[in-house]
């Protein structure tokens, strides 16, 4: 994972997305501990306040929770929450730009559907 | 703990190196002090550590004028100068321990080993890179609360720079964030994720003092036709406009109205720095 300081996405959101991705992929399972703020800060060379902000974003979304004095743990059912969120974002992230580009190229609706079906058939 | 710089000015003969600057540094945060060559960064850092004296204004540590040895021992400056003279690295570590009981000499030796710094070497004989490494180790092992780094990565290769950034953050965590690090550097992109707050100085004056995240959130690069850019940015502060052919691109701070004819992108700290400190010309 590379954190890009000049990306459109703020660093703390990139941190949250990265942890989320690893929970979704099953690297961090329900009720297991995720790396500490310090580990992430030192490992990725990012200010601990930024890392903490990213973690708080995940706490707000019930993806991780804090065990006092121990650290951050993955919430039960976190994967499902992440899946739901991604499903909602799928349209905006993939379908909308696909159609926008297709319209610029003057594709008809039929052309678009044909191309998708062709890819699906592979 | 809080370090306040209040209305500090410094004149060298007729040259005004610092013009009435005020800023605060607090423990628990990592700052960058940025500016072009000759902007006044080193002058300010030297004044904070009383290596030189201001022409006017004052510096306060938790409200008390910074004067006593007790207060000054809380501030450490790593700069280009070598004040150890012609002694060996090992001797410098021993001597420092005599003056600063809380100096972590064991850690200094162990870090020397991991950086492959030969402790039997005489300090003036060290290469530029290793002279920096030696001074960094001394700064990171000092027991001071405010540690100032003036060009800490001078002559360091990419690997050693990466080790330094990690070391800085792990020391910051080890000390439970009860320290304050202030880094002055020209390698802005490399430290932009490391720091929380940036202070940019130009010709002895502060042009920016703010949280990096907020600065970057408000700074945008806008490209398109010149008239469209002007229309979209009439409520923003335009820092620069470059035109190539029929397309212009501007770096702006503030609100941009997306009228559909322009492309809006984010800006990195280095780009923002360049636009804020440019003198015109090219």
Name the residue ranges covered by the structural domains of chain B. Answer: 2-203, 214-277
pLDDT of amino acid B163: 92
Contact B217, B52 (CB under 8 A): no
Please tell me the distance from the alpha carbon of residue B31 to that of residue B40, in angstroms, as a whole number. 16
* pLDDT at residue B279 is higher than 80: no
Rounded CA gap, B25 and B44, in Å? 13
Cβ-count burial of B152 within 10 angstroms (0-12 exposed, 13-18 middle, 19+ buried)? Answer: buried
Beta carbons of B216 and A3 less than 8 Å apart: no
Asked whether the beta carbons of residue A42 and residue B271 sit closer than 8 angstroms, the reply is no
ipTM: 0.84
Structure tokens at B135: 């001074």
**Residue of A9, A45, A50, A51 best to disrupt the B interface, most CBs of B under 10 A:** A45
| Structure confidence at residue B280 as a pLDDT band (50, 70, 90) | low
- Secondary structure class of A78 (helix, strand, coil): helix
Query: Cβ of A11 under 8 Å from any chain B Cβ?
Result: yes
Rounded alpha-carbon distances, angstroms, from residue A6 to A43, B30, B55, B275: 19, 19, 39, 15
Interface test with B, best of A4, A6, A54 (most B CBs within 10 A): A6
Buried b (16+ CB within 10 A) or exposed e, A90-116: eeeeeeeeeeeeeeeeeeeeeebeeee
User: Are residues A58 and A19 in contact, defined by beta-carbon separation less than 8 angstroms?
Assistant: yes
Instruction: Render pLDDT for B134-190 as a digit per residue (tens, 0 to 9).
Output: 999 999 999 999 999 999 998 899 999 999 999 999 999 999 889 999 999 999 999
Confidence of residue A2 (pLDDT cuts 50, 70, 90): low
| Block residue for tokens 């600057």 | B21
| Segment among B94-98, B135-139, B153-157, B256-260 with least mean pLDDT | B256-260
Question: A77: left (phi > 0), else alpha (psi -120 to 50), else beta?
Answer: left
| Alpha-helix residue ranges (DSSP H) falling in chain B | 41-48, 69-72, 89-99, 105-114, 128-141, 158-174, 188-191, 212-218, 226-232, 269-277
Three-state DSSP class for residue A96: helix
Name the CATH code of domain B2-203 (choices 1.10.3720.10, 3.40.50.300, 2.102.10.10, 3.30.300.30): 3.40.50.300
Residue B271 touches chain A, beta carbons under 8 Å: yes
* Predicted local distance difference test score (pLDDT) of residue A6: 57
Return the number of CB contacts < 8 Å for A and B: 57
pLDDT, tens digit, 9 for 90 and up, residues B103-124: 999 999 999 999 999 999 999 9
The Cα B236–Cα B238 span in angstroms is 6
């Amino acid at each position: 994972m590379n954190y890009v300081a000049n990306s459109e996405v703020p660093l703390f959101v990139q941190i949250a997305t990265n942890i989320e991705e690893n929970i979704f992929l099953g690297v961090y399972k329900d009720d297991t501990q995720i790396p500490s703020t310090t580990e992430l800060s030192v490992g990725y060379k990012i200010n601990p306040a930024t890392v903490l902000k990213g973690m708080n974003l995940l706490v707000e979304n019930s993806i991780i929770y804090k065990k006092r004095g121990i650290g951050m743990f993955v919430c039960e059912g976190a994967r499902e929450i992440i899946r739901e969120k991604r499903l909602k974002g799928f349209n905006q992230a993939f379908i909308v730009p696909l159609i926008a580009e297709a319209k610029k190229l003057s594709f008809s609706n039929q052309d678009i559907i044909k191309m998708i079906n062709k890819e699906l058939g592979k | 703990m809080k370090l306040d710089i209040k209305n500090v000015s410094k004149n060298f003969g007729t040259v005004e190196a610092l013009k009435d600057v005020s800023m605060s540094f607090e423990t628990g945060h990592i700052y960058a002090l940025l500016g072009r060559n000759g902007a006044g960064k080193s002058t300010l850092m030297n004044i904070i550590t009383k290596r030189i004296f201001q022409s006017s204004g004052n510096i306060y540590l938790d409200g008390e004028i910074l004067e006593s040895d007790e207060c000054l021992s809380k501030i450490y400056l790593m700069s280009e100068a070598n004040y150890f003279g012609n002694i060996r690295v090992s001797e410098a570590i021993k001597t420092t321990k005599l003056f600063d009981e809380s100096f972590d000499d064991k850690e200094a030796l162990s870090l020397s080993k991991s950086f492959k710094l030969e402790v039997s070497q005489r300090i003036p004989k060290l290469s530029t890179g290793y002279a920096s490494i030696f001074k960094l180790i001394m700064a990171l092992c000092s027991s001071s609360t405010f540690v100032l780094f003036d060009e800490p990565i001078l002559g360091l290769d990419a690997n050693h720079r990466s080790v330094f950034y990690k070391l800085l953050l792990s020391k910051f965590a080890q000390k439970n964030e009860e320290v304050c690090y202030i880094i002055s550097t020209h390698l802005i992109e490399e430290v932009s994720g490391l720091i929380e707050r940036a202070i940019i100085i130009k010709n002895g004056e502060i042009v920016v003092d703010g949280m990096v995240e907020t600065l970057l959130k408000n700074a945008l690069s806008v490209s398109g036709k010149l008239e469209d850019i002007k229309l979209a940015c009439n409520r923003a502060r335009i820092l620069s406009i470059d035109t190539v052919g029929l397309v212009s691109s501007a770096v702006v701070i503030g609100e941009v109205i997306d009228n559909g004819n322009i492309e809006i992108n984010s800006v990195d700290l280095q780009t923002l720095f360049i636009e804020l400190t440019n003198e015109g010309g090219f």
